[in-house]
Structure 1
Amino acid sequence: MIALNRRKALILGGAAAASALAAPAIAQNKTIKVGALRFTSHSGSFVAVEKGYFADSGLDVELVFFEAAQPMAVAIASGDIDYAVTAISGGLISLAQKGAIKVIGGAASEEDGIDGQIILASDAAYQAGVTDCSKLDGKSWGLTQTGSSFHYVGAKIAEKEGISLSYKPLQKVGAVIGALKSGQIDAWNIVPHIAKPLIASGAVHDIGRVQTYLPGYQLTTVFTSTKNASEEKETTQAFLNAFSKGAHDYNAAMIDAEGGDAAVDAMIDMIHKYVYADQPREKAAPSIVNGTMRINEGAALNVASVEDQLEWFKSEGLVDASVSMGDLVDASYVETIG
């Protein structure tokens, strides 16, 4: 087998997936609800709405916003939403084992040379000597929930540094930010569009990058109910087709700079409707640019990263030891890498 670096694999995988997804898949103006966080890394869905890609695929999409990953997984399982993009969590894995959920594609991922998630320390911790991750031994690490992606990342950093962390679940991203700024927790990891303004304010400090510890990390995935994956194939293909087009346009403008400044400005205008929408455009724009992470072309899925996440959740007793990749992933819709 010929070895591919991550960038080439994503390109080739995206091309193959785009070809597969390009097959006719008309969902007859079906109404679906799509879960998302107000993060720049969820822009594949936002762009697909704004450019009419969902509508062109026969889908009438309502975006439903959440403040953490696990409630989104519950909403998929209950049928309150139909498709979503978020990080893998213990709750999602447990629901997958029960036959309620399937991961069907990849979204944002860490890529060498592109700013990804940043590891932050509170000012109090930084002033006390926590200037890099090796100094975090015995310190507190912010989470939304136990078994969230923040838990996984913190544990992987601790493992590689040979240290221990105290995990503090605070339920919502906003609550974690408040705790970090006030020094109630010592450290946290978060996407760059949130991290960089916090760093610029002086309230927190940059002490590292997640990609140093987890190269190629599949930060977010596309998932749906098992019923949709197995019985609503036309709709699921239509959703992935439109999402992939949105992701392609986002990458082309924001990462590959194919359209120059005009394309970046147009993309910021679209994303601003969903990310930092409560701020004036001129204030929101730098944060949106700062949040740029590649969204996998063709929704290609890094199965090696997903499997590593699954094995960690199992090793920590956060999910049942018998859950398998087959329980979690339906790999029939997109190209897989890793």
Structure 2
Amino acid sequence: MRARHAFPLRRRLAVAGVLGLGLGTTLAACGSSSDDDAGADGGSLRVTTLGLCNEVVYWAQEKGLFADHGVDVELVKSTGGAAALTALQSGDIDLAFANPFSTMIAIDQGLDLKWIATAYETTSVEADAANAMVVAKDAGITDAAGLNGKTIGVNEVGGINQIASSQWMKLKGGDPSSVKFVALPFNELASAVASGKVAAAQVPAQNVDPELGLVSLGDPYVVAGEGSNLVFAGYVATGKEAKDKEKELKAFQDALIETNEAFNDPANDDERFKLASAQCKQDAAVLKTLPENIYEARVDTGALERMGEILVGQDRLDDPPSPEDFVPSYVTTK
């Protein structure tokens, strides 16, 4: 496990869209490697992106790191994990940006999927929280039990945020089976709590807006991890592609590992936030102030095992797939 001091506290940008199995189905090509000769001596990959501010693929592409590792990457805009996994199965793309919970559930349902690289991990320290369970300040709700029988907003019913929120309630003395989860767009969750439409919502930490009168009961991911990091999102291939494109997929992960080194060097902050600003049309100065998830391309198999156990504990799976079965041997792990 990496030493905690290697990552400054603010390097935990909450991903503005979490990848599940119930989102839209739109895909559109949005770019290719910045080096026209990329992949001339190697292969190519079509990889989905949500266009989020902090997707490390943009730095790797802009800096020519994919080309340096001998792979040509074309980024394909997706509306979410469902679209990506659908395109993956149809052969329209080679790598889908997805989350481990949805991936393991899909594997259990019969899909042949392989985890190739991680994009982000969650923190295990509440002070570094990148996510939050928010309630109205004047609602009189001070803990998980106070949400029993109420309605909680998440970005997607059955997705990673609902699973983490349910685990948070269970471990904090609440009863997730008594809660009604409803799906709302990310940009509507905080206002839904403020207006009383829902009693609480699982949101990125930066959405804890004092002007809306919201307070956080804690980061569900920190609690669900029980002192350890969890894997938040990453890249998934089909079993066939994982075998047929081993060289390209290994090169893809290696390029992301190199990107992580750049991201975690404060000397690159101005440049990386400027690039992020251009990608997601948000002010770079504001982006610098937001909490961040941990950038990590190596695959934490222990975290994947813990997440499988969470799915079993919530009766979502009887026998979760083992990382030994869905993480190829050539993938760099930690």
Band the TM-score falls in, shorter-chain normalisation: 0.7 to 0.9
- The residue identity in structure 1 corresponding to 2:277 is H
CA distance in 1, matches of 2:43, 2:211: 45
**Contact 2:190–2:207, Cα closer than 8 Å, also in 1:** no
Q: 2:259 maps to what in 1?
A: 246
Q: Number of aligned residue pairs: give it.
A: 297
- The residue identity in structure 2 corresponding to 1:271 is A
Q: Does 1:162 align with 2:173?
A: yes
Using the aligned pairs only, state the percent identity. 21
TM-score normalized by the length of structure 2:
0.76
CA distance in 2, matches of 1:202, 1:179: 10
CA distance in 2, matches of 1:29, 1:202: 52
Instruction: Quickly say closer, same or farther: Cα 1:45–1:32, change in 2 above 3 A.
Output: same
Q: 1:334 maps to what in 2?
A: 331
Q: Does 1:102 align with 2:107?
A: no
Superposition pairs for residues 27-42 of structure 1, below 5 Å?
Answer: 28=41, 30-40=43-53, 42=54
CA shift for structure 1 position 49:
1.2
Q: Which has the higher helix share?
A: 1
**Contact 2:168–2:223, Cα closer than 8 Å, also in 1:** no
Superposition pairs for residues 125-274 of structure 1, below 5 Å?
Answer: 126-165=137-176, 166-170=179-183, 172-177=185-190, 179-191=192-204, 195-202=205-212, 204-209=214-219, 210-214=221-225, 215-252=228-265, 257=266, 259=267, 263-274=268-279
Q: 1:295 maps to what in 2?
A: 295
Q: 1:43 maps to what in 2?
A: 55
CA distance in 2, matches of 1:181, 1:328: 44
Which secondary structure does the structure 2 equivalent of 1:307 belong to? helix
CA shift for structure 1 position 232:
0.9
**Contact 1:77–1:95, Cα closer than 8 Å, also in 2:** no
Q: 1:307 maps to what in 2?
A: 305
Superposed CA offset, 1:180-213 (max 9, x none): 454322223334xxx3155254353222123244
- The residue identity in structure 2 corresponding to 1:139 is K
CA shift for structure 1 position 106:
2.4
Q: Does 1:74 align with 2:72?
A: no
Q: Which runs of 5+ in 2 are unaligned?
A: 8-37
CA distance in 2, matches of 1:117, 1:106: 17
CA shift for structure 1 position 144:
3.1
Q: Which structure is richer in relative contact order (CA contacts within 8 A, separation 6 or more)?
A: 1
Superposed CA offset, 1:240-267 (max 9, x none): 1212222221122xxxx3x2xxx21111
CA-based RMSD: 3.1
Instruction: Quickly say closer, same or farther: Cα 1:336–1:243, change in 2 above 3 A.
Output: closer
Q: 1:55 maps to what in 2?
A: 67
**Contact 1:117–1:189, Cα closer than 8 Å, also in 2:** no
CA shift for structure 1 position 141:
2.2
Instruction: Quickly say closer, same or farther: Cα 1:293–1:204, change in 2 above 3 A.
Output: same
**Contact 2:57–2:256, Cα closer than 8 Å, also in 1:** yes
CA shift for structure 1 position 102:
0.9
Instruction: Quickly say closer, same or farther: Cα 1:75–1:317, change in 2 above 3 A.
Output: farther
CA shift for structure 1 position 301:
1.7
